[in-house]
């Protein structure tokens, strides 16, 4: 039998992939095919090298690196506060979550205290971003599988969340609202009524989404029993967040290692049973409702008090003090020209992002610039687990599997 590589000399060399594809690929029995980076369901910057036996995926080799953010390298040359604005851009659907993990790392380094009101505002921000991220995920995931109208509904609700972001931070996506020691500024008086209106309205919308999908036979056919990953495999491969909980492991960092006043909130951790695409979908839809519960409690119990720490070595003084306090002017000037100097040390902080464990490893050498800021991003780890989830399924299922782990390619870059 003539092999593909003998017959066509333009066949791409398989040498670099030799230990990743099966023997059958080398003899030309199975086909090696590129999916992406321009395929719509691979989000434009992910390439999957697939080894196919007919339509069955034998091997899947993800290839990232089509996005060149260079954020970790860039952060080393910026001051701590200046590097904060780059964290928004890492995972553009979880902007406040990224702010939060970076600020928590700085606060852990500097032993900076955060007032309770600021912690509640952070929770509101983080949960709104979770809603935002899950809505984009639900809309695009459903569209990948073929449900168009849901995409429009989800983006309609997302718009209202972006409006609220604009209300508290002046920005719709790159908010940079959470700052070391607290938040940028207090909420405006019209924010809470808007949020309450949204919270009253949104449960009905989730029911609408579920009416369209949850018991839809087409949806079930395309998602149930697809992309299976067992709890042991998921833990070994480092999966976290809804991907891990879909396999039945009730691990939520907000419960296990509470941060930022999450221990004062009452909510459940939704868990799946089967570890397939459908269960991951159900977990996320249930998380939407749990986020609403948290937000309702946060709105109800929002304490009064300062919205940022009064440690002047790290947090700028209020604008109103600059007019009459020389001390405030000095601190303000020093902070915006020199920055602050956290003590020498290394910390690792983890938070629960919409996608899973988001960690920040921050190294300070005592200078105003981070010596090293490393982010453990869930999309990166979940992409490395993608081959284990997709082997043996059809190429059409792969689209659903990629969607079900909820990757954001900005999050998987460095």
* DSSP state string for 282-299: HHHHHHHHHHHHHHHHHH
- Interface residues with other proteins (CB under 8 A)? 16, 19-20, 64-65, 70, 72-74, 76-77, 108-109, 111, 235-238, 249, 251, 256-257, 345-348, 350, 357, 359, 361, 363, 371-372, 374, 376, 380-381, 383-385, 413-414
For residue 270, give the nearest of 298, 293, 297 by alpha carbon. 293
CA angle 146, 151, 152 (to 5 degrees): 130
Nearest to other proteins of 79, 332 (CB atom): 79
| Helix ranges (DSSP H) in 146-229 | 148-169, 191-213, 217-223
| CA–CA dist 385, 259 (Å, integer) | 27
Q: Is the dihedral of CA 203, 208, 212, 216 positive or negative?
A: positive
Nearest to other proteins of 22, 224 (CB atom): 22
Closest distance of CB 361 from other proteins, Å: 4
Closest distance of CB 40 from other proteins, Å: 23
Nearest to other proteins of 132, 309 (CB atom): 309
| CA–CA dist 299, 200 (Å, integer) | 12
Residue matched to tokens 């701590």 = 80
Closest distance of CB 317 from other proteins, Å: 26
DSSP letter, residue 238:
T
Nearest to other proteins of 125, 242 (CB atom): 242
Closest distance of CB 196 from other proteins, Å: 35
Query: What are the residues whose beta carbons fall under 8 Å from the beta carbon of 252, sequence distance 6 or more?
Result: 245, 269, 352
Nearest to other proteins of 74, 211 (CB atom): 74
List Cα–Cα distances, 285 to 28, 111, 130, 138, in angstroms.
Answer: 43, 36, 11, 8
Nearest to other proteins of 131, 349 (CB atom): 349
DSSP letter, residue 321:
G
Nearest to other proteins of 147, 358 (CB atom): 358
Closest distance of CB 274 from other proteins, Å: 19
Closest distance of CB 81 from other proteins, Å: 19
Strand pairing category for 182-183 and 345-353: unpaired
Query: What are the residues whose beta carbons fall under 8 Å from the beta carbon of 396, sequence distance 6 or more?
Result: 55
For residue 295, give the nearest of 197, 199, 187 by alpha carbon. 199
| CA–CA dist 315, 181 (Å, integer) | 6
Closest distance of CB 358 from other proteins, Å: 10
Residue 63 has phi, psi (to 5 degrees) of -130, 115
Nearest to other proteins of 139, 180 (CB atom): 180
Closest distance of CB 237 from other proteins, Å: 5
Closest distance of CB 120 from other proteins, Å: 23
Report the SS3 class of residue 373: strand
For residue 17, give both structure tokens.
Answer: 């992939």
Closest distance of CB 395 from other proteins, Å: 22
Nearest to other proteins of 76, 166 (CB atom): 76
Nearest to other proteins of 72, 321 (CB atom): 72
Report the SS3 class of residue 374: strand
For residue 408, give the nearest of 141, 185, 20 by alpha carbon. 141
Chain centre distance of CA 71: 16
């Amino acid at each position: 039998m003539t092999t593909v590589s003998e017959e066509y000399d333009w066949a791409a060399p398989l040498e670099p992939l030799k230990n990743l594809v099966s023997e059958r690929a080398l003899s030309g029995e199975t086909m090696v095919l590129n999916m992406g980076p321009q395929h719509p369901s691979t989000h434009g910057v992910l390439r999957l090298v697939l080894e196919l036996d007919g339509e069955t995926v034998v091997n899947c080799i993800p290839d990232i690196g089509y996005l060149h953010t260079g954020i970790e390298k860039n952060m080393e040359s910026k001051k701590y506060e200046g590097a904060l604005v780059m964290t928004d851009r890492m995972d553009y659907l979880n902007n406040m979550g990224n702010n939060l993990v970076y600020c928590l790392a700085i606060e852990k380094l500097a032993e900076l205290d955060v007032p309770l009101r600021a912690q509640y505002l952070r929770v509101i921000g983080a949960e709104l971003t979770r809603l935002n991220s899950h809505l984009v995920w639900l809309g695009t995931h459903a569209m990948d599988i073929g449900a168009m109208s849901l995409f429009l509904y989800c983006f309609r609700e997302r718009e209202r969340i972006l409006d609220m972001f604009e209300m508290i931070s002046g920005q719709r996506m790159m908010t940079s609202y959470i700052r070391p020691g607290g938040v940028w500024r207090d909420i405006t008086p019209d924010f809470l009524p808007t949020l309450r209106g949204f919270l009253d309205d949104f449960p009905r919308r989730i029911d609408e989404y579920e009416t369209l999908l949850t018991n839809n036979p087409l949806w079930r056919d395309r998602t149930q029993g697809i992309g299976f990953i067992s709890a042991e495999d998921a833990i070994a491969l480092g999966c976290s967040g809804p991907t891990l909980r879909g396999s039945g492991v009730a691990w939520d960092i907000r419960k296990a290692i509470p941060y930022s006043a999450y221990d004062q909130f009452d909510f459940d951790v939704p868990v799946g049973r089967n570890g397939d695409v459908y269960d991951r979908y159900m977990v996320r839809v249930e998380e939407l409702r749990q986020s609403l519960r948290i937000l309702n409690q946060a709105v109800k119990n929002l304490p009064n008090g300062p919205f940022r720490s009064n440690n002047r070595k790290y947090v700028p003084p209020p604008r109103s003090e600059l007019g009459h306090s020389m001390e405030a002017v000095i601190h303000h000037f020093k902070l915006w020209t020199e920055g602050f100097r956290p003590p020498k040390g290394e910390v690792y902080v983890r938070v629960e992002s919409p996608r899973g464990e988001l960690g920040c490893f921050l190294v300070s050498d005592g200078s105003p610039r981070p010596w090293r800021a490393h982010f453990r991003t869930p999309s990166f780890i979940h992409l490395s687990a993608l081959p284990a989830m997709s082997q043996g399924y059809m190429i059409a299922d792969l689209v659903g599997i990629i969607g079900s782990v909820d990757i954001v390619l900005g999050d998987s870059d460095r």
